[in-house]
Amino acid sequence: MQTKHTNGDATSPSSTTPSDQANASLSANDPAANSRVEPGTMPTRRAGLSTQCVHAGEQRQKDSGSIATPIYTAATFTFESTDDLLRFVNGEDQREEYGRYGNPNERSVEAKIAALEKCEEAIVYGSGMSAIVGLLMTKLSAGDEIVFFDQCYHRSREFCAKHLSRFGVVTRQVTTGDYDAMEAAINRNTKMLVSESPTNPHLSVIDLEKFAAVGKANEVETLIDATLATPYNLNPTEYGVDYVLHSATKYLGGHNDLLAGVLCGRSEQLEAVRSMRGILGNISSPHNLYLLERGLKTFELRMRRQNENGLRIAEFLESHPRVERVYYPGLKSHPTHAIAAAQMRGFGGLITFTIRDADWKQTANIVDAARIPRIAPSLGGVESLIEQPLVMSYFHCTPEDRVRFGIDDNMIRMSCGIENGDDLIADLEQALSV
């Protein structure tokens, strides 16, 4: 297993990419991003993560001297002349033509996320689900198969098992973390291996080196949904994973005020994916892209607090007599803690726990008693959120399916925000006393 990396020690791909361009821009123009050196000495160092969050992907001097990237609400973009248009269609000018294919706000955000994820390219979508749908619709045809680890977001599972099957694509699910079972499920029709890391809601961490190795040995592409990890805590492509998916609605946006998704990877592999997005139209609005860029500027600062809150509250819950079990990869009691400790730089703000000797209603009473977290789906924002998965996401599932998916009646999921950790713990203490 590879050792974990520190933020700011990004490695550069050999070719020039949006991520490289973003860092090159920092090196050339931003005194805060580099240590200055005399000609002939060691080159300037790559910018650290917080500097990338603020500056990567953005032009040094923007329209009218604006410090923030202006919001480009144009549906179409004009050309001065036919010669100007010809330079564009011949690939001589990199610019926009029509809003479904690209937007200056989009390119700025994509370059920033590519830099954070240490990838050649990023493609932004209207949501996390549209991102995974866009990838799979591009890469799969009738008769193809994909293999999923069975701990996953229920809508991802539903799309693959229920909707892709209508187009002749077969989805096979195997036990999460069973790499032998995953390899055994591969046949000549298999085109992609899919997993989350950590998984939702059990927060199992995948051994990405093993996962990627199975794919490479069988010439099958690999996708990791790293929404719960974030680029702050994990960069899956460093372990050989082909595609990284994020619901940017969560930690990347960070304020529960936008919907967006992003796919990251190598430019060559993403070329057809971007083309398909232009056909399907799964784009994000200019205002959402502005909000996402603004949210990313404080990404590192937010993640530090959410990592801290997540670990403190998980430790508190594990020691509480009313709590039966805590799922959090930062705890030594978690089955995949050793993998998480080797791969991740932090463990995020999401915690799942079960209440001892409680039925669904007694569990709901605890959720209702919490005063700081709000009852809501989603995660990763500055506000703490709390929910009972039985009611929020799996209410219409059969009891048998809930057992199969590992959703207990007494299960609570909490997304820690950036509030004071002592306040959150005190609030949970009083809620658990009801």
Q: Which tens digit of pLDDT belongs to each residue from 52-111?
A: 999 999 989 998 899 999 999 999 999 999 999 999 999 999 899 999 999 999 999 999
pLDDT single digits (tens) 337-356: 999 999 999 999 999 999 99
Token digits of residue 327: 């799922």
Share of the chain above pLDDT 90, in %: 81
Which of 59, 56, 68 lies closest to 22 in space, CA to CA?
56
Beta bridge partners of 322: none
The mean pLDDT value for 380-391 works out to: 97
Token digits of residue 244: 């990284």
Share of the chain above pLDDT 70, in %: 90
Residue 8 in this model has a pLDDT that exceeds 90: no
pLDDT single digits (tens) 147-183: 999 998 888 988 998 999 999 999 999 999 999 999 9
Q: Give residue 306's Cα distance to chain centre.
A: 15
Beta bridge partners of 35: none
| 314: Cα within 13 Å, side-chain hemisphere | 25
Could you tell me the end-to-end alpha-carbon distance of the chain, in angstroms, rounded to an integer?
A: 45
Structural domains of the chain in order of their starting residue, each with its CATH number: 49-83+92-295 (3.40.640.10), 299-432 (3.90.1150.10)
- 263 Cβ contact partners less than 8 Å away, ≥ 6 residues apart: 122, 123, 125, 131, 134, 135, 243, 244, 245, 270, 273
| Average pLDDT over all residues of the chain | 90
How far apart are the C-alpha atoms of 75 and 101, rounded to whole Å? Answer: 10
Residue with tokens 């493609």: 123
Residue 42 in this model has a pLDDT that exceeds 70: no
Beta strands 350-355 and 411-415, pairing class:
antiparallel
pLDDT band at residue 394 under the 50/70/90 scheme: confident
Q: What pLDDT is recorded for position 322?
A: 98
CB neighbours of residue 242 within 10 Å: 21
How far apart are the C-alpha atoms of 182 and 173, rounded to whole Å? Answer: 8
Residue 45 in this model has a pLDDT that exceeds 80: no
How far apart are the C-alpha atoms of 40 and 33, rounded to whole Å? Answer: 20
- 15 Cβ contact partners less than 8 Å away, ≥ 6 residues apart: 120, 267
- 156 Cβ contact partners less than 8 Å away, ≥ 6 residues apart: 129, 132, 148, 194, 225
227 touches 245 (CB < 8 A):
yes
Residue 11 in this model has a pLDDT that exceeds 70: no
Tell me the backbone φ, ψ of residue 124, rounded to 5 degrees: -95, 140
Token digits of residue 5: 């990396």
Q: What pLDDT is recorded for position 403?
A: 87
Residue 30 in this model has a pLDDT that exceeds 80: no
Q: What pLDDT is recorded for position 397?
A: 85
Q: What pLDDT is recorded for position 241?
A: 98
pLDDT band at residue 26 under the 50/70/90 scheme: low
Tell me the backbone φ, ψ of residue 318, rounded to 5 degrees: -65, -30
Residue 32 in this model has a pLDDT that exceeds 60: no
